[in-house]
Amino acid sequence: MLHLDRSAFEHFDEQGYVLIEGLLDVELDIEPIVAEYEGLLDELAETWKAEGRVTSTYSELPFCERLQRLVIEGEPTYDQHFDISLPQADITDETPIHHGPAVLDLLRSPRLLDAVEQFIGPEIFSNPVQHTRIKLPESQLPDASRTGLTAQVSWHQDLGVVTTDADNVEMLTVWLPIVPATEENGCLAVVPGSHRKELALHCRSANPLTLNQVCIPDRMVSDATVPLPMQPGDVLFMHRKTIHRGLINNSDVIRWSFDLRYQPIGQSTGRPWFPGFVARSRAEPESELTDASRWAELWREARSRLAAGGDVAFNRWQQGDPRCA
């Protein structure tokens, strides 16, 4: 089992985050993700070509270049096809979502969970507030394809986007890139030490580039921010109250990442309508979810319940709060 240095935990306690370089094995953890998503894109490209959106499937190109070409030409809404969580609104029985074996293997990677265990203990639950974000260059992103998963992400705290029953949960954010994340293509930036303060006010963004995101107004964020360039295999661990954002992609290449959350088993997830799972249990290893088809089934069941309607409020913030003016 990998043991992190004491200095890593000291940095996490003091600054609210710590970046561990080379934690994951690129061949074992990252390359299977790329291969699985290449298969997904094969299907989407064929569909978009059959619909007349694009003139070619561009099958000769690698994943990122291919997706760029397809999105620029066809202007599809592509994010949800690759995402591993459902949206917060307009869910139907046909809302796409992906839960393949390579993604489950990443979420259960022993290298990743060995590190997570040292933060929150050996009984580890995979929180369902999780996403893959494939961000096109801002200059190339069609308006029709712009969502919170494809464009820049405004300042926020992960505790701020879950319900209040999770306020005291030991929720750990885990962020990792699938391709190099640079300042130019939109790596993460954090506000060091912000986890020591109370939860900040979050408002609905009026910025056309981040429209409707729930975020902290810029005027309330310290100027002492730190960008965190990362390479595939690097992993960033953040406190649930650390203020952070995804920078704008000013490059000509895609930035692709996963943001995951883990917490001790038995605590509230802040999204009770979505299914989490036991990722590791030293006490009851038989309770661990190891079957991707079962994982996908849990999400299909949740999708059906939510598509049927009901009063579901995913966030704690109310529109029209006078403090947001």
Digit-coded pLDDT (tens) for 160-178: 999 999 999 999 999 999 9
Given a contact cutoff of 8 angstroms between Cβ atoms, the answer to whether 177 and 234 are in contact is yes
CA atoms within 13 A on the CB side of 77: 8
Report the distance separating Cα 71 and Cα 53, nearest Å: 9
Pairing of strands 214-215, 172-177: unpaired
Task: Give mean pLDDT, residues 35-63.
Answer: 97
Neighbours of 40 (CB within 10 A): 15
Quote the tokens at residue 148. 């919170």
Pairing of strands 123-135, 277-281: antiparallel
Domains assigned to the chain = 31-76 (no CATH), 78-319 (2.60.120.620)
Residue among 314, 324, 325 at smallest CA distance from 148: 314
Token pair 């990252």 is found at: 30
Given a contact cutoff of 8 angstroms between Cβ atoms, the answer to whether 254 and 67 are in contact is yes
Digit-coded pLDDT (tens) for 237-247: 999 999 999 99
Kindly calculate the radius of gyration of the chain based on its CA atoms and give it in whole angstroms: 19
> For residues 280 and 1, which has the higher predicted lDDT (pLDDT)?
280
Task: Give mean pLDDT, residues 105-134.
Answer: 98
262 bridge partner residues: 126, 172
DSSP 8-state secondary structure symbol assigned to residue 251: S
Task: Give mean pLDDT, residues 47-71.
Answer: 97
- For residue 188, give the 3-state DSSP assignment: strand
> For residues 133 and 212, which has the higher predicted lDDT (pLDDT)?
133
pLDDT for 311 equals 66
Report the distance separating Cα 290 and Cα 92, nearest Å: 27
For the chain, the residue count is 325
Task: Give mean pLDDT, residues 218-228.
Answer: 93
pLDDT for 230 equals 98
Report the distance separating Cα 177 and Cα 230, nearest Å: 7
Report the distance separating Cα 100 and Cα 105, nearest Å: 9
> For residues 318 and 216, which has the higher predicted lDDT (pLDDT)?
216
Instruction: Answer yes or no: is pLDDT of 137 > 90.
Output: yes
- 205: confidence class by pLDDT, cuts 50, 70, 90: confident
Instruction: Answer yes or no: is pLDDT of 210 > 70.
Output: no
Instruction: Answer yes or no: is pLDDT of 206 > 80.
Output: no
pTM assigned to the model: 0.95
pLDDT for 295 equals 98
